[in-house]
Amino acid sequence: MNDPHDHDDDRGDAYDGEREAVAAPRLDHGSHGSRGLPAVAALVRLARSPAAWQAGAPELAEAAGPASLDELSRRAFFRLAGAGAVAAGLAACSSRPAREILPYANQPPELVPGVPLHYATGLVEDGFATGVLVASHEGHPTKIEGNPDHPASLGATRAIEQAAVLALFDPERARTITDRGVPAAWAAIEAMLAAAAARRGLGLHLVLEPTSSPLVIELVQRVRAALPAAGLTFWSPFTPRAQLAGNRLAFGRPLQTQLELGAAEVIVTLDADLVGEHPMALAYARRISDRRRVVDGDSAMSRLYAIEAAYTPTGVIADHRLRVRGSQIEHVAAELCAQLIRQGVRVPPIAQPLAGRAAVAERAHWIKVIARDLVRAAGRSVVAVGERQPPAVHAIAAAINTALGNVGRTVGFSEPVVFEAGQPSHDGPGLGGLGGLGVLVRAIEHGDVTSLLVLAGNPAYTAPADLGLAGAIARVATSLYLGLYDNETARACRFVVPALHDLEQWGVARAYDGTITPLQPVIEPLFSGSSVTDVLHRLLGDLPASAHDRMAAAWRRLMPEVPLDAALALGAVGGSALPLVAVDVAWDALTPVIAGAGTGEPPTLELAIRPHPFVHDGRYANNPWLLELPEPTTKLTWDNAAQLSPRTAARLAIDDGDVVALIVADQAAGGAVDRTIEVPAIIVPGHADGAITLHAGFGRDGGERIARGIGANAFALWTTAAGLHPPVTVVARGTRHALAVTQVTMRDDGRPLALSGTLSELGGDTLRAELARHRGPQPSLYAAFPAQGPQWAMSIDLTTCTGCTACVMACAAENNTPVVGKRQVLNGRVMHWLRIDRYVGPSGASGASGPSGPSGDDADEPSARVQPMTCQHCELAPCEYVCPVEATTHSPDGLNEMTYNRCVGTRFCSNNCPYKVRRFNWFDLKEHGGLRIAARNPDVTVRDRGVMEKCTYCVQRIRRAEIDARIADRRIRPDEVRTACQQACPAQAIAFGSLTDPVSAVVLHRRRPHSYAVLHDQGTVPRTQYLARIRNRNGALR
């Protein structure tokens, strides 16, 4: 045992629950029980040491008597004991808080120890807020849920929001103000700010993240007024730019596209990951899914065509998916436009000649079919374009949507939510020109910048490589960085000011649709952090009162009609979404753009840099939860890799894990300089040929110990002149890199696991009969288990599940599952209780007429099926009868339970689990201290070394609901218990409830013809069933 406490823990396990209940939840689960002993020992030492006595309380020293405990008389003993108590009390008084603190005797009415409170606030990324509810246990946040009243969340979260609670408690966050690494005070910085202000901003430059906060905007405008000479750049690598530029082409001004997907019958995405990457992804996933909930073969279901290069979650749920590499999507858009005109969509005469453009032969049929579907559903269709497409494509889509009459129904346009979005201060590379940072670097080179304030983001890392921003920053006389971490930018700047985490500050931000989202701190700042507004106020020379007062004052000024308290309680201001504006397509200007779209020669091999779904642009890269979360498409953890299609890999003679050099010629340097990174390759069936997708956010080089050195830096290939899909050369290095994927085999070997079929097949008998074979009673020699009370069950809809992996993160956050690290992932020891199985290639059901997809299932055009897989809570559970010590048993309400204290760790249960959902504590995996354990859920036991664990159906939530129901003397309401995975799911693909409740969603799901059990023929009678993946295929595309 590495720690003597361990053994005590093991023996005392049986009493832990009781002890916690009495002592209220504590942060430290690792070593309770034996903490008292050192204190006693210290007291005895204190009592024995006359020196300490004389220093503390001389009169007591005299009374102490003999020094050895053996010599003590009874009287002397009591004297000593009493003296000890007094001495200990005195010692405890040494650090009395300076301000009055309140005893807990009069507990606030809203606070019950052990019962979490939820506070509404928001998390902001690239200026767009997502409303969340933060569960707080006795003052420390432990879990983040989506805010159902917030339009960008609708109650769901991404993995990133789920993991924010761990980011808050990241011990590696910047803690103190430093001046070139040496602790410093505000005074030095204020001198710098005052000097800049004295010159009316001459030589001063500010770099901010794109912001939608009225508070920040107001301050920025004041700075502009007070310091007119100051430069201002907004920078974030993946802020929407092309969309605004495209709408400017179409409508003459930069507008933000707002989709109303709930009304859309036909959706065509052009390299647009609406449900994965979009700032409104959660809401869009919900809206799309709401139109795709299949009850039977007659259900109305929208149709989704995904035309994309990488295999995104949107591609996963699509009915038809066409692999087209990024640079060719422009052609597709122009061809689609031409086809629509040919099919009679009305355009002004000037645009008529556009109809002459013919589609590339291999996709001509596709384009024709899609166009026909769009015309059929005119006014109820959407053409959506992703951010990696040039403005022309966005403009074409805007024109198509207008011509189809979609605008005002499924598509709208609003003013940009982000301050000055689409203006030069936001310019980035890829759209021509240097962008805002380029201007800054030029100015630095000319010596025009003497003071630089970088007030968020990490531009030294995310800026295009050819700018050499980090080096330029280092040349500025005084620079200041406000950030959460000692990252690349912090290391380039002179002063570093620790920033506040979103969960620590007062503020306001807007959602993508403009909804005003008030932010409130759910915890006192852990470190001495500052916010952007703090710094701007100091720059302006005023720092009034507290952040809350400032916010309240600003709120009264900006939104006098909305009471702040009500808005804070709700987490969103209803009806504050930006109004849609009327638009007219500027066909005169647009027609030549469309005519010229996609006429260039495509490169042999092109590169697309995308934000990573979990670490985004690298800002979340120091979060071990997110690094260990399997990337939805590749299941890769702790790395990024060059994704390429099997055919391209074969052409380049590259295999999974081969290290390749990606070489991009730097156009800004006249193509003379090659920018190279080395990265392992990973083969993704379904990826477009001739293209490589690389996720950004890795290859970090700052002071963050977890993020540092993982993966390769995609931004090193990103240059100002390169465009969105630069040509890339791939050279195999001849070395190998171990890729820590959580799923090694993606083919399902023809097994009927993730069943699928089409909507029309569901109306017929063949598929229904096939599916019926996968459910219903099974003969068994065993007696049915004695059911009593509610019977918990789950149903997962594979039609709407996008595989986004938010549920996996939510499960880990709720259930305290440990992080194991890359080596252990490589060894098949990832601890997630829930995983998302992904199968590509021929579908696993018998017969060509069975539920296998009728088309598009060959090796080059695979159809990916995702299947969340967790403990199935089998009624006749194979794990239970093989356990020699009855550590896993069945509860009367149908849960397959683990008694951790009883488990001896034979792992027999895992061997006999056909779903392989059990996880074993191979080592002592739990953290034994540090800040991160504050993020643990106090309602869930932290498991010890050597015991088995697995999904519990969030039994702690079930028991909580039972207790609430019993107190209120009522039955548990249908759908009252929501599991963590269910709650996080943006598509609401997971239903949970009791089978005894006739109106619960899970019962309704089970009545559907496509409900089935995985491995039904094994007779395990799983309580989790699935709704087969149903696609609304267009018959013309068979």
Partner 1 sequence: MTAPTLPAEGVPPGVLPDVLVGRPSDAELSEQLLSTTWRPWTRGWKLAFAICGALTVNLFAMITLTVLRGIGVWGNNIPVAWGFGIINFVWWIGIGHAGTFISAILLLLEQRWRTSINRFTEGMTLFAVIQAAMFPLLHLGRPWFAYWLFPYPSVMGTWPQVRSALPWDAAAVTTYFLVSVMFWYLGLIPDLAALRDRAPARTRRILYGIFALGWRGSVQQWRHHKVAYLLLAGLATPLVVSVHSIVSLDFATTGLPGWHSTIFPPFFVAGAIFSGFAMVLTLMIPARRVFRLHNVITLRHFDAMAKLMLVMSWIATYAYVAELFVVWYSGDRYEAYQPLVNRPFGWYGWAFWVMVFCNCVVTQLFWSRRMRKNLTVLFAVALLVNLGMWLERFEIIVVSLSRDFLPSSWHIFVPTWVDLGILAGTLGFFGLLFLVFLRLVPFVPVSEMKQMRAEIVHDEVRP
**For partner 1, the closer CB: 209 or 837:** 837
Using the rule CB under 8 A, is 2 a contact of partner 1? yes
**Rounded to whole angstroms, how far apart are CA atoms 242 and 428?**
10
Residues 825-844 that bind partner 1 (CB under 8 A): 827-829, 835, 837-839
Handedness of CA 453, 458, 460, 465 (dihedral sign): negative
Question: Residues in the chain, how many?
Answer: 1038
Q: Which of 84, 148, 646, 914 binds partner 1 (CB under 8 A)?
A: 914
Using the rule CB under 8 A, is 745 a contact of partner 1? yes
Q: Which amino acid is it at 760? A: S
- Phi first, then psi: give them for residue 731, nearest 5 degrees: -125, 120
Using the rule CB under 8 A, is 784 a contact of partner 1? no
Using the rule CB under 8 A, is 346 a contact of partner 1? no
Q: Are 737 and 636 a contacting pair, CB within 8 Å? A: no
| Radius of gyration (C-alpha) of the chain in whole angstroms | 31
**For partner 1, the closer CB: 31 or 729:** 31
Using the rule CB under 8 A, is 744 a contact of partner 1? yes
**Torsion angle (degrees, nearest 10) of CA 822, 828, 832, 837:** 110
Q: Which of 885, 963, 999, 1036 binds partner 1 (CB under 8 A)?
A: 885
Instruction: Give the shortest CB-545-to-partner 1 separation in angstroms.
Output: 54
Q: Which of 28, 62, 749, 860 binds partner 1 (CB under 8 A)?
A: 749
- Among all chains, which residue has been given the structure tokens 């997962």? 796
Closest CA to 733 of 816, 799, 661: 661
Residues 967-1026 that bind partner 1 (CB under 8 A): 1014-1015, 1018
**For partner 1, the closer CB: 222 or 945:** 945
Instruction: Give the shortest CB-912-to-partner 1 separation in angstroms.
Output: 4
Using the rule CB under 8 A, is 24 a contact of partner 1? no
**HSE on the CB side for 875, CA within 13 Å?**
23
Closest CA to 873 of 839, 833, 901: 833
Residues 841-870 that bind partner 1 (CB under 8 A): 867, 869
- Phi first, then psi: give them for residue 590, nearest 5 degrees: -80, -35
Q: Which amino acid is it at 345? A: V
Instruction: Give the shortest CB-743-to-partner 1 separation in angstroms.
Output: 5
Provide the token pair at 547: 């952040």
What are 661's strand-pairing partners? Answer: 678, 731
Stretch of 64-72, 528-536, 581-589, 909-917 contacting partner 1, by CB under 8 A = 909-917
Q: How many residues bind partner 1 (CB under 8 A)?
A: 60
Residues 915-944 that bind partner 1 (CB under 8 A): 915-916, 918-924, 944
**Rounded to whole angstroms, how far apart are CA atoms 292 and 303?**
8
**Rounded to whole angstroms, how far apart are CA atoms 1034 and 720?**
41
Using the rule CB under 8 A, is 824 a contact of partner 1? yes
Q: Which of 253, 945, 960, 1016 binds partner 1 (CB under 8 A)?
A: 945
**Rounded to whole angstroms, how far apart are CA atoms 617 and 489?**
14
**For partner 1, the closer CB: 203 or 868:** 868
Handedness of CA 739, 740, 741, 745 (dihedral sign): positive
Q: What is the C-alpha end-to-end distance of the chain, expressed in Å?
A: 63
Using the rule CB under 8 A, is 875 a contact of partner 1? no
Residues 724-743 that bind partner 1 (CB under 8 A): 743
Using the rule CB under 8 A, is 10 a contact of partner 1? yes
Instruction: Give the shortest CB-964-to-partner 1 separation in angstroms.
Output: 31
Instruction: Give the shortest CB-910-to-partner 1 separation in angstroms.
Output: 4
Exposed/middle/buried for residue 389 (C-beta within 10 Å: 0-12, 13-18, 19+): buried
**For partner 1, the closer CB: 259 or 753:** 753
Q: Are 488 and 700 a contacting pair, CB within 8 Å? A: yes
Q: Where are the beta strands (DSSP E) in 173-302?
A: 178-179, 182-183, 204-208, 231-234, 256-259, 266-270
**For partner 1, the closer CB: 149 or 924:** 924
Using the rule CB under 8 A, is 907 a contact of partner 1? yes
Helices vs. strands in the chain: H and E counts, helices first: 33, 38
Using the rule CB under 8 A, is 657 a contact of partner 1? no
Instruction: Give the shortest CB-749-to-partner 1 separation in angstroms.
Output: 5
Using the rule CB under 8 A, is 904 a contact of partner 1? yes
Pairing status of strand 204-208 against strand 451-454: parallel
Using the rule CB under 8 A, is 755 a contact of partner 1? no
**For partner 1, the closer CB: 743 or 996:** 743
**For partner 1, the closer CB: 689 or 924:** 924
Instruction: Give the shortest CB-680-to-partner 1 separation in angstroms.
Output: 18
State which H helix or E strand residue 776 sits in. Answer: none
Instruction: Give the shortest CB-982-to-partner 1 separation in angstroms.
Output: 21
Using the rule CB under 8 A, is 908 a contact of partner 1? yes
What are 957's strand-pairing partners? Answer: none
Q: Which of 902, 971, 973, 1016 binds partner 1 (CB under 8 A)?
A: 902
Closest CA to 412 of 570, 545, 247, 637: 247
Q: Are 509 and 213 a contacting pair, CB within 8 Å? A: yes
Q: Which of 572, 948, 984, 990 binds partner 1 (CB under 8 A)?
A: 948
Rounded to 10°, the helix 242-251/391-403 angle is: 50
Give the rounded distance of the alpha carbon of 588 from its chain centre.
Answer: 42
Q: Which of 31, 299, 906, 996 binds partner 1 (CB under 8 A)?
A: 906
Instruction: Give the shortest CB-7-to-partner 1 separation in angstroms.
Output: 8
**For partner 1, the closer CB: 80 or 898:** 898
Using the rule CB under 8 A, is 756 a contact of partner 1? no
Using the rule CB under 8 A, is 748 a contact of partner 1? yes
Using the rule CB under 8 A, is 781 a contact of partner 1? no
Task: Give the residues lining the site for partner 1 (CB under 8 A).
Answer: 1-2, 7, 10, 14, 743-751, 753, 824, 827-829, 835, 837-839, 867, 869, 878, 881-886, 902-908, 910-912, 914-916, 918-924, 944-948, 1014-1015, 1018
